[in-house]
Amino acid sequence: MNHVEDQSLHYSRPHSRTPEESKAVRKKILVVTGLLSLITVVEILIGVYFSKTHVGEGTWTLIKWFYIILTLVKAGYIVLVFMHLGDENKSLRTTVLLPMVLVIYLIFIALFEGEVLIQYVQEFMK
Amino acid sequence: MAQATLDIPANKIWGGGTSPFGASYGKLMMWFFLLSDAFSFSSLLVALGYARHVHADTWPLVENVFFHFPLTHAHLPLLYVGLMTFILIISSVTMVLAVDAGHTNNKKGVIFWLGLTVVGGLVFLGSQAWEWYTFIVGGEGVVKSIIVDGEVQKVLVQGANLQNNEYGHTLFANFFFFITGFHGFHVFSGVVINAIVLYQATQGVFERRGHYEMVEKAGLYWHFVDLVWVFVFTFFYLL
């Protein structure tokens, strides 16, 4: 037979659900929405009440890391639940997530270079 | 060579015929595009961190720049951008619901939730336009020594453009324009894509096709836009 099959029909065919299943899906979406909103509110409250100028350097470093962790938690929920990457198979998950490790290397390079540049500028200003 | 017969389930074989990723070509390519786009945004944000690290002494405090809120003159740091974040999260949720309606072949659900997503995107774009306007117009301004016609002159700088800004280092405004602009353009194209898919849904294109995977693909792009904003919010506004 000489016709091209629609792949998507094979992988994304709509399916019927029982009311219980629908309820479970809705609940999951609602819980994640609440969580994302809560994290955002916490971030804003910290930002408003703990200004960089009013807290010590140590506290600010702590807040910084707290922000980064909250951001990664938010990103994880968006990617795994909203984008359904958690429901995809292992090959797809690995293919998408593993290359992001390179970003860590990029951050390392930028910090290292920035530090060197600051030293050069200080040397030059002497 | 004899054909090897191995006891592997058909959907796990990489020999062709089935996708080892369990996804169609279109969806897979959307994921790969988003991966490359993630690298673009990572580079921008890392470059921001680099500039900020090198020019820490002239980098402004963000809460002294973004404290405006429409219809009031109160000093409300982070509140407006927090609202924008919230708008984008909510439009992401309506998109999830649209994709979910597509999974059960619910045409009305897709149209309703996708419509709300388009509205959410437009509200976000409007908010960003206001934010840019406030940033460009600026406040009372500061006197800065800048080079005009080869001579150093003291000039009152108000608001921001690509050469000067009243807030701090020139790169601060440049990164603001570039990062939020690049993200805003993604939001804009996302709204256009969503609107086209919405139109197709109302015309029954996906019903005839037998699946709503196009909503899923547009959804991936839209969620990615939300994801990027989560990072922009942290690394530009919070830190």
Reported ipTM: 0.90
- A76 and A21, same structural domain? yes
pLDDT on residue A29 = 94
Mean pLDDT of chain A: 88
pLDDT on residue B187 = 97
Separation CA B236–CA B183 (nearest Å): 12
Q: How many CB atoms lie within 10 A of CB A19?
A: 7
| Helix residue spans in chain A (DSSP H) | 7-11, 19-49, 57-77, 90-97, 101-125
Low-confidence ranges of chain B (pLDDT < 50): 1-2
Separation CA A98–CA B54 (nearest Å): 30
For residue A1, pLDDT beyond 80: no
**B78: closest chain A residue by CA:** A44
pLDDT on residue B1 = 43
- A101 and A78, same structural domain? no
From chain B, pick out residues whose CB is under 8 angstroms from the CB of A95: 21, 31
- A97 and A60, same structural domain? no
The predicted-structure confidence for A20-79, as pLDDT tens digits, reads as follows 988 999 999 999 999 999 999 999 999 888 877 788 888 999 999 999 999 999 999 999
Separation CA B54–CA B162 (nearest Å): 19
- A117 and A66, same structural domain? no
Q: Does B20 touch chain A (CB under 8 A)?
A: yes
Q: Quick check: is A7 in a domain? A: no
Strand partners, B145: B154
**Pairing state of beta strands B142-148 and B151-157?**
antiparallel
pLDDT on residue B228 = 96
- A58 and A32, same structural domain? yes
pLDDT on residue B198 = 97
**Three-state DSSP state, B33:** helix
Domain that holds residue A125: 89-126
pLDDT on residue A6 = 79
- The more confident residue out of A102 and A12 is A102
Q: Total structural domains in chain A?
A: 2
Averaged pLDDT, A90-102: 92
- A55 and A45, same structural domain? yes
- A43 and A26, same structural domain? yes
The predicted-structure confidence for B188-202, as pLDDT tens digits, reads as follows 999 999 999 999 999
- A101 and A52, same structural domain? no
**CB nearest B24 (choices: A7, A22, A84):** A7
> Do B238 and A95 make contact, defined as CB atoms within 8 angstroms?
no
> Do A43 and B233 make contact, defined as CB atoms within 8 angstroms?
yes
> Do B23 and A107 make contact, defined as CB atoms within 8 angstroms?
no
Q: Quick check: is A121 in a domain? A: yes
Separation CA B69–CA B73 (nearest Å): 7
- A96 and A76, same structural domain? no
- A81 and A24, same structural domain? yes
Q: Quick check: is A6 in a domain? A: no
pLDDT on residue B12 = 53
Q: Quick check: is A5 in a domain? A: no
From chain B, pick out residues whose CB is under 8 angstroms from the CB of A115: 53
Query: How close is the nearest chain B Cα to the Cα of A14, in Å?
Result: 5
**CB nearest B234 (choices: A48, A68, A83):** A68
> Do B21 and A92 make contact, defined as CB atoms within 8 angstroms?
yes
- Give the alpha-carbon dihedral of A81, A87, A89, A91, to 10 degrees: 0
Closest CA to B43 of A114, A117, A110, A68: A110
**CB nearest A106 (choices: B24, B31, B46):** B46
Rg (CA), chain B: 23
Q: Quick check: is A10 in a domain? A: no
- A93 and A74, same structural domain? no
Q: Quick check: is A12 in a domain? A: no
* CA A119 and chain centroid, separation: 33
Banded pLDDT at A2 (limits 50, 70, 90): very low
**CB nearest A74 (choices: B35, B86, B230):** B230
> Do A78 and B93 make contact, defined as CB atoms within 8 angstroms?
no
Domains of chain B (ranges; CATH) run 26-136+168-238 (1.20.120.80)
pLDDT on residue A12 = 83
- A115 and A68, same structural domain? no
For residue A4, pLDDT beyond 70: no
Q: Quick check: is A47 in a domain? A: yes
